[in-house]
């Protein structure tokens, strides 16, 4: 029998897709390390019943990343798969969303992923094998109103992944870009909670549609997180994993929009998110 794959997943608090990635890999006889920031470690406690080990890991800290990877390597001698899942949403009009809020999201969603890559690549290069799965989004291809910062952070992940896929090929490292569509998780709830911190000025009359955008990916038709995670894990563990994994509700719509003229996109999103009206101050 082959040795089990050693998998590290970031952003694994209960209720999120990372939590479901861990369970799906464990179902496939992998040795799984679930990680998140210290305040969320307790949210992963019931993963232990599946043989999954919890680690404290803050993707914004070099020291924390180093410590977590040292633990994995000391216990297992290698790391086969990194799931770069940690991330936060960001909803609000870009003309008013505080730069500190945008900076925090980018530190996690973009530099956090790159930090993980830079720390894990030396280990994978030495063993001349490994897979890095960067989690992007369909909105990284087609940006939507009221979430421009989040969309841009995911577009960065896409561009980074396409470069890394070529740059890491000589070392036998696969880079896979996961593109969730509308997938049920705690992201929408967290987005709504953060909106309570803001009082819009220019956009005060758009409060309802901004809130609608915050929960747009969590509707009744959203793909179950367990279904999405199992689909991704099956693809990642395949002998020849794909370069991209796009899956989930609304994936087809965003594929269509990505190839549509900009006026079609603008018309669609203007109607969908209340931007087909004039505002007079």
pLDDT in tens, 20-31: 999 999 999 999
Q: Which CATH class name applies to 6-272? A: alpha beta
Six token digits for residue 184: 């049920």
Quote the pLDDT of residue 96. 95
Q: How far apart are CA 59 and CA 111, in angstroms?
A: 8
Q: In 3-state terms, what secondary structure has residue 179? A: strand
As a whole number of angstroms, the distance between CA 219 and CA 33 comes to 30
Distance CA(231)–CA(20), nearest Å, equals 11
Going by C-beta distance under 8 Å and a sequence separation of 6 or more, which residues neighbour residue 93? 146, 200, 202, 203, 206, 210
CA 19, CA 42: separation in Å to the nearest integer? Answer: 12
The C-alpha atoms of residue 4 and residue 22 are separated, in whole angstroms, by: 14
**Per-residue model confidence as pLDDT tens digits over 149-168:** 999 999 999 999 999 999 99
Which regions of the chain are under pLDDT 50? none
Sign of CA dihedral 125, 69, 161, 240: positive
Closest CA to 8 of 136, 132, 173, 111: 132
Give the Cα separation of 46 and 229 in Å (integer): 18
Tell which residue, 85, 196, 89, has the closest CA to residue 135: 85
Burial of 180 by CB count in 10 Å (0-12 exposed, 13-18 middle, 19+ buried)?
buried
Q: How far is CA 106 from the centre of its chain?
A: 12
Catalytic position from the list 19, 21, 150, 156:
150
CB atoms within 10 A of CB 166: 9
Dist. CA 121–CA 178, nearest whole Å: 19
Q: Is 19 a catalytic residue?
A: no
Rounded CA-CA distance 51/41 in Å is 15
SS3 state of residue 86: coil
């Amino acid at each position: 029998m082959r040795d089990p794959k050693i998998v590290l997943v970031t952003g694994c608090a209960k209720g999120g897709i990372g939590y479901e990635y861990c369970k799906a890999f464990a179902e496939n006889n992998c040795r799984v390390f679930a990680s998140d920031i210290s305040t969320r470690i307790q949210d992963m406690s019931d993963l232990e019943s599946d043989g999954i080990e919890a680690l404290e890991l803050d993707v914004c800290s070099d020291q924390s990343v180093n410590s977590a990877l040292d633990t994995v390597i000391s216990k297992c001698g290698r790391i086969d798969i990194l799931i770069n899942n940690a991330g936060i949403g960001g909803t609000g009009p870009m003309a008013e969303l505080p730069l500190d809020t945008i900076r925090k999201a980018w530190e996690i969603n973009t530099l956090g992923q790159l930090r993980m890559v830079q720390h894990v690549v030396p280990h994978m290069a030495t063993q001349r094998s490994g897979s890095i799965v960067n989690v992007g989004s369909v909105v990284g291809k087609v940006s939507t109103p009221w979430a421009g910062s989040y969309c841009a952070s995911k577009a960065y992940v896409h561009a980074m992944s396409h470069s890394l896929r070529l740059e890491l090929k000589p070392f036998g490292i696969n880079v896979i870009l996961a593109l969730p569509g509308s997938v049920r998780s705690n992201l929408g709830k967290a987005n709504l909670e953060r909106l309570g911190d803001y009082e819009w000025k220019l956009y005060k009359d758009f409060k309802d549609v901004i809130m609608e955008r915050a929960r747009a990916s969590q509707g009744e038709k959203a793909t179950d997180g367990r279904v999405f995670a199992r689909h991704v894990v099956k693809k990642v563990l395949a002998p020849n994993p794909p370069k991209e994994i796009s899956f989930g509700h609304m994936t087809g719509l965003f594929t269509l929009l990505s190839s549509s003229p900009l006026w079609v996109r603008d018309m669609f999103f203007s109607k969908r998110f209340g931007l087909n009206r004039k505002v007079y101050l």
